[in-house]
């Protein structure tokens, strides 16, 4: 058992009065459904022990019913007043809080992520729900635009046209393995879709089915207790096989997809969606290796400090972050020798991390071997093999190569998901720039440099702005703020759609499309587009931004 300290998360949690019994069911709207024969079981990564109960993989019929119900709910849900939608989101936040230690305990058992980390992730999940509730209440996100009629315009009169964003339709969300709360059942994809006015069908990640059920029931409780929320606004299916995900993405009722995971799985969903009779957008966040460039003066003046920060960023959460710094670029100087030695020592001294699933740890281990087997790459340091369960252990590692090898070996450009970084040594400024130009798309790119050095390397920064969704100066890529200015996305293969973010308020824009209303009488206009501006939102009126009534 994983013991939970008392009093944790007291800001948000209310003690549960009764123990929660997990059912293992799929949730087709408010109804439980256990029609299938295949089952999935949660596994404690720290011991390898299976966790009760068994969860029923959804049948094709169950998945289809969830999608159809979502389509039926869409008309009602999308037409609700924003205040109803925002109180639904706040109610989900409250229900998740009320799960208290039960949720942390189960998530810890299923993922081996430390309780303190899970508390932080729960706080983030709840804050995210409340942030989107606030966004919906404020209302300006719909980008309302009004061009008033000009009946006397020559040669022809201009009609009255008004435009705003409306929800796309039911959204399929795939829970992520590495964030059982913040990027899973009630994570960023679900909450931004619900905020936009889209029903959601979640495919729970098989690595944390119990955590998923707890959160699904919290959402369904919130739906049931918020007047006006139709059944079908939320469903959740279980599935370890590819078939469940494919059935979801190819169902005609589904109009968009949110996904966080591997390139292979994300691309398969993208392809399936693109091949539909009616193609739909897929927002797949597929990870990257997040290059970190450390410039010579920074190395010389604060190499030790950077090594410490970088080691912490590499090993955070056993390296299970899509923004993990997997590539570190330094020059060939004596300073960089010292830096790499310090970094190697720090990584070697860490205890082996426990990854959330054995197949993920195996892929990491295999990836390390593959990288190290490439001629010109050396395994400089690797942490001790001291994990409780070797099947899920991830040992921190430092690999070293040179830029010629890196550019000549495409396999080195792929994400090595786990607590490792590949240091690439460049022999000249020209090599450094070539390496930057040769990068494919990443979620983040980082530069460490002194003030004058950063100005001197402005061309490097300009290249990185074209290669990454977020460029970090003198910081570390892990730690993604949930805020309006965040962009968590990036050019392919970091994501399938460089225009989209899965973190921050702009995530809502993924699930909306504009509609233009021409010549509408006031009675038929939504509040956002009425002359009186009853919602008091920002609108572009005849090209000028204003909160005025007309």
Residues 178-237 that bind its own copies (CB under 8 A): none
Minimum distance from CB of 389 to its own copies (Å)? 29
Least distance between its own copies and beta carbon 7 (Å)? 16
Alpha helices (H) along 316-413: 334-348, 358-373, 403-408
Count, residues in the chain: 550
Element (H, E) at 471: strand 468-473
Instruction: Determine if the peptide bond prior to 155 is cis (ω within 30°).
Output: yes
The active-site residue, picked from 57, 62, 285, 528, is 285
**75 or 427, CB closer to its own copies?**
75
Q: In terms of CB distance, is 49 or 149 closer to its own copies?
A: 149
Verify binding: residue 250, its own copies, rule CB under 8 A: no
The answer to whether residue 516 is catalytic is no
Beta carbon nearer to its own copies, 53 or 120? 120
Distance CA(176)–CA(156), nearest Å, equals: 54
Residue tagged active-site, from 72, 322, 415, 528: 322
Residues 251-270 that bind its own copies (CB under 8 A): 270
Binding mask 81-120 for its own copies (x = CB under 8 A): ---------------------------------------x
67 is catalytic: no
What are residue 398's phi and psi, to 5 degrees? -120, 120
Site for its own copies in 65-84 (CB under 8 A): 75, 79
Task: Kindly state whether residue 410 participates in binding its own copies, applying the rule CB under 8 A.
Answer: no
Give min distance, CB of 55 to its own copies, in A: 33
**CA proximity to 342, closest of 291, 395, 303, 393:** 303
The SS3 assignment for 103 reads helix
Residue 385 CB contacts under 8 Å (≥ 6 apart), including other chains: 352, 393, 395
Please list the helix, strand and coil fractions of the chain in percent, rounded to the nearest 5, in that order.
Answer: 40, 20, 40
Closest CA to 436 of 445, 472, 478: 445
Number of CB atoms found within 10 A of residue 523's CB: 6
Q: Closest distance between its own copies and the C-beta of residue 234, in Å?
A: 20
| Binding region for its own copies (CB under 8 A) out of 39-47, 302-310, 339-347, 513-521 | 513-521
Of 170-178, 181-189, 275-283, 314-322: span binding its own copies (CB under 8 A): 275-283
Candidate list 114, 279, 411, 438; residue touching its own copies; CB under 8 A: 279
Residue 127 CB, nearest approach to its own copies (Å): 13
Residue 44 Cβ, how far from its own copies at the closest point, in Å? Answer: 27
Residue 294 binds its own copies, judged by CB under 8 A: no
Question: Does the protein bind its own copies through residue 162 (CB under 8 A)?
Answer: yes
Backbone angles phi, psi at 537, to 5 degrees: -95, 165
| # residues contacting its own copies (CB under 8 A) | 77
Q: Which of the stretches 278-286, 310-318, 337-345, 412-420 binds its own copies when contact is defined by CB under 8 A?
A: 278-286
C-alpha torsion sign, points 331, 332, 337, 343: positive
Q: Which of 19, 155, 227, 410 binds its own copies (CB under 8 A)?
A: 155
- Taking CB under 8 A as the criterion, the residue among 242, 484, 548, 549 binding its own copies is 484
Does 411 help bind its own copies (rule: CB under 8 A)?
A: no
Determine if 312 is a binding residue for its own copies (CB under 8 A).
no
CB of 81 to its own copies, least distance (A): 15
Q: How far is the CB of 147 from its own copies (least distance, A)?
A: 4
Q: What is the Cα–Cα distance from 390 to 148, expressed in whole angstroms?
A: 68
Given 465, 532, 548, 549, the residue binding its own copies (CB under 8 A): 465
Closest to its own copies by CB, 190 vs 505, is 505
Name which position in 369, 481, 532, 549 contacts its own copies (CB under 8 A).
481
- The single residue among 90, 122, 124, 163 that binds its own copies, judged by CB under 8 A, is 163
Alpha-carbon gap, residue 402 to 424, rounded angstroms:
5
Q: Quote the Cα angle for 481-535-147, to 5°.
A: 100
Which tokens hold the place of 186?
């009630």
Q: Residue 420 has which token pair?
A: 């490792």
**Radius of gyration from C-alpha coordinates of the chain:** 25
Among 269, 486, 507, 508, binds its own copies (CB under 8 A): 486
Alpha-carbon distance values, 74 to 27, 67, 257, 364 (Å) = 17, 10, 16, 41
For residue 217, the surrounding DSSP H or E stretch is helix 209-225
Q: Which stretch binds its own copies (CB under 8 A): 98-106, 145-153, 243-251, 341-349?
A: 145-153
Q: Does 512 bind its own copies (CB under 8 A)?
A: yes
Q: Running DSSP on this structure, what letter comes out for residue 46?
A: T
Binder of its own copies out of 470, 502, 508, 533 (CB under 8 A): 470
Question: Residue 390 or residue 499: which is nearer to its own copies going by CB?
Answer: 499
Decide: 100 and 107 in contact? Cβ < 8 Å.
no
Closest to 166 in 3D by CA, of 255, 238, 96: 255
Residue 92 beta carbon to its own copies: minimum distance, rounded to whole angstroms = 21
The nearer residue to its own copies, 191 or 506, going by C-beta atoms, is 506
Q: How far apart are CA 358 and CA 365, in angstroms?
A: 10
**Nearest distance from residue 281's CB to its own copies, in Å?**
7
When the beta carbons of 116 and 334 are compared against its own copies, the nearer one is 116
When the beta carbons of 349 and 515 are compared against its own copies, the nearer one is 515
* Under rule CB under 8 A, residue 136 binds its own copies: no
Q: Classify 479 in phi/psi space as left (phi over 0), alpha (psi -120 to 50) or beta.
A: left
Half-sphere exposure of 480 (CA within 13 A, CB side): 24
**Residues in Cβ contact with 468 at an 8 Å cutoff, skipping those fewer than 6 apart:** 288, 290, 441, 442, 443, 444, 445, 490, 491, 494
Q: Centre a 10 Å sphere on the Cβ of residue 40 and count the other Cβ atoms it contains.
A: 18
Q: Which residues are catalytic?
A: 285, 322
């Amino acid at each position: 058992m994983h013991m939970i300290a008392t009093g944790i998360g007291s800001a948000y949690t209310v003690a549960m009065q009764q123990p929660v019994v997990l059912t293992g069911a799929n949730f087709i709207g408010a109804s439980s459904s256990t029609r299938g024969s295949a089952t999935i079981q949660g596994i404690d990564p720290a011991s390898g022990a299976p966790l009760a109960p068994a969860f029923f993989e959804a049948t094709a019929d169950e998945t289809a019913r969830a999608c159809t119900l979502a389509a039926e709910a869409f008309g009602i849900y999308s037409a609700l007043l924003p205040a109803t939608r925002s109180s639904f989101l706040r109610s989900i936040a409250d229900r998740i809080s009320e799960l208290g230690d039960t949720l942390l305990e189960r998530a810890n058992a299923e993922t081996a992520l430390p309780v303190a980390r899970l508390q932080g992730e729960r706080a983030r999940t709840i804050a995210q729900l409340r942030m989107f509730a606030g966004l919906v209440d404020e209302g300006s996100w719909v980008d309302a635009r009004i061009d008033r009629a000009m009946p006397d315009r020559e040669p022809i009169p201009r009609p009255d046209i008004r435009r705003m964003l409306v929800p796309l339709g039911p959204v399929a969300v795939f829970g992520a393995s590495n964030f059982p709360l913040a990027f899973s059942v009630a994570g960023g994809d679900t909450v931004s879709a619900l905020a936009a006015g889209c029903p959601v069908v979640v495919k729970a990640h098989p690595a944390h089915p119990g955590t998923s059920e707890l959160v699904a029931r919290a959402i369904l409780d919130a739906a049931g207790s918020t007047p006006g929320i139709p059944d079908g606004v939320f469903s959740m299916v279980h599935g370890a096989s590819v078939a469940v995900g494919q059935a979801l993405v190819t169902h005609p009722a589904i109009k968009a997809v949110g996904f966080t995971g591997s390139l292979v799985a994300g691309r398969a969903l993208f392809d399936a969606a693109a091949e539909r009779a009616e193609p739909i957008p897929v927002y797949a966040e597929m990870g990257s290796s997040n290059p970190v460039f450390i410039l010579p003066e920074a190395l010389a003046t604060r190499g030790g400090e950077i090594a410490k920060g970088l080691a912490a960023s590499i090993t955070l959460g056993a390296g299970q972050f899509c923004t993990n710094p997997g590539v570190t670029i330094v020059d060939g100087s004596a300073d960089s020798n010292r830096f790499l030695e310090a970094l190697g020592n720090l990584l070697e001294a860490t205890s082996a991390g426990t990854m959330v699933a054995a197949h993920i740890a195996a892929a990491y281990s295999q990836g390390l071997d593959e990288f190290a087997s490439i001629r010109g790459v050396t395994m400089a340091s690797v942490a001790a093999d001291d994990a409780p369960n070797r099947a899920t252990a991830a040992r921190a590692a430092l690999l070293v190569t040179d830029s010629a090898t890196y550019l000549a070996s495409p396999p080195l450009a792929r994400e090595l998901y786990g607590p490792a970084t590949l240091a690439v040594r460049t022999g000249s400024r020209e090599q450094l720039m070539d390496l930057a130009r040769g990068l494919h798309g990443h979620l983040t790119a980082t530069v460490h440099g002194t003030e004058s050095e950063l100005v001197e390397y402005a061309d490097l920064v300009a290249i990185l702005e074209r290669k990454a969704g977020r460029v970090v100066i003198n910081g570390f890529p892990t730690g993604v703020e949930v805020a309006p200015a965040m962009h968590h996305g990036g050019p392919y293969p970091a994501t399938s759609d460089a225009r989209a973010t899965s973190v921050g308020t702009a995530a809502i824009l993924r699930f909306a499309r504009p509609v233009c209303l021409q010549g509408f009488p006031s009675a038929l206009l939504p509040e956002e587009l009425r002359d009186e501006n009853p919602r008091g939102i920002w609108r572009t009126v005849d090209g000028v931004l204003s909160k005025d009534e007309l």
